Amino acid sequence: MSTYDETTLARVALTWLAEPGTRSVYALVDELGPVAALDLLLDGGAPQEELRDSVAARRQAGDARAIAAEALERGERLGARVIVPDDDEWPASVEQLRTLVLQDARRRVDRETAPPLCFWVRGPLPLAETLDRSVAVVGARAATPYGLHVARDLGYGLADRDWTVVSGGAFGIDAAAHRGALSAGGRTVAVLACGVDRPYPMGNTALFDRIADSGLLVSEWPPEAEPLRPRFLIRNRVIAAGTKGTVLVEAAARSGATQTTRRALALHKPAMVVPGPVTSAMSVGTHEFLREEPDARLVTGLAQVLEEVGRIGELAPVPRGPQRPTDLIDDDARAIVEVMPRRGTIGVDDLAGRAGLAVRTVLRKLSLLEELALVVRRGDGYALVTAPGARRAAHPDGVAGGGTRP
């Protein structure tokens, strides 16, 4: 028999009566508590007609409390646990969904974005602690080799830096990110749109088993719940709210992954986008997201992701080409190098005239250039150093000042 208390049972029953995220149900629980809210709904006292009709239809399928009790017993046999807001494992970050407001929310799934009432969890890790330092990596199911490579690298790199990788367990980008984290021996969490006992897609069954062994499978729906299409969109708000930021790797023109990233933006969390080839259909959604959302951040690798979600001052290195000796000199010294002849020597006075600098300035800069092995003194004049590679370093275009191109 289940050992769960009446409050937990009521939360499970409420999730069965109305889909997770329903704001009117969450408001009743917030005001009355889960037990009284369940009693009110079962007595037909829902404040909205739409909710009353929905509850009445669901009651035709069975007794809510009995179904919740059966689900709890099934979960215990499965090794799954139920987490509610009073538990230490409850991730406080999902409570940010209280204030989530999406612009132009015409669809129900864009309006019903309340925090979860409970979570079902399989796996050895504590949920709140595991999500406390986490990044979501999401994207297309029909991913390209490019996208899979990027997602695997991000998953591996994040896990290797002690970040939890969160995704939805789907084919494509999701699975690649999970596998990357597992390959690094790190933590990964799959947030599901069905029961934690139902591997979906079936082709990822082995992956889900690995995640359950060393990470976490998480769902708002009880065991045996079906992966209905709207539930994937409902689930996405949890991925956005439960993590420190979301990385969108690949997305077609109409992709649910962009929905997750928009929720991250609406929650004022980093929403990061990996660009792709402009010729790829799987990058149309990512590029449109970057065009439409000025607060989205373009990222090209792990260092830039960590800069967005990490500690203050944890900055990604600025990409640079190889350093040249001329990078170490100022404008006057560079002007001298530019006007020196490719062959032979040149006197100080002639050099000053060519560079348009005072003789004393030229003498001072020539001393610096000698120290850097860019020029050498020969008799009464100076010549460019002709060691292998030095000519190209001094003159990136391969032509020294004062000469003509061959």
Residues of the chain with pLDDT > 90, as a percent, come to 77
pLDDT above 60: residue 369: yes
Question: What are the two backbone dihedrals, phi and then psi, of residue 217, each rounded to the nearest 5 degrees?
Answer: -105, 130
Structure tokens at 400: 């020294």
* Cα distance between residue 267 and residue 209, in whole Å: 32
All structural domains of the chain, each given as residue ranges with its CATH number in brackets, are: 1-65 (no CATH), 79-309 (3.40.50.450), 325-394 (1.10.10.10)
Question: Which tens digit of pLDDT belongs to each residue from 306-363?
Answer: 999 986 445 555 555 566 666 778 999 989 998 999 888 999 999 999 999 999 999 9
> What is the arithmetic mean of pLDDT over 209-238?
96
d(CA 372, CA 204): 59
Per residue in 178-188, pLDDT tens?
Answer: 999 999 999 99
Is 200 buried (19+), middle (13-18) or exposed (0-12) by CB count in 10 A? Answer: middle
Residue range 90-130, pLDDT digits in tens: 999 999 999 998 877 888 889 999 999 999 999 999 999 99
Mean pLDDT lowest for which of 9-23, 110-124, 285-299, 360-374? 360-374
β-strands 81-83, 188-191 pairing: unpaired
Do 127 and 216 touch, CB atoms closer than 8 A? yes
CA distance 7 to 33: 8
* Lowest mean pLDDT, pick from 143-152, 154-163, 334-343: 334-343
Contact present, 178 and 149 (Cβ < 8 Å): no
What pLDDT is attached to residue 254?
A: 79
Sign of CA dihedral 273, 275, 279, 282: negative
Q: What is the pTM of this model?
A: 0.82
Strands 188-191 and 381-384: unpaired
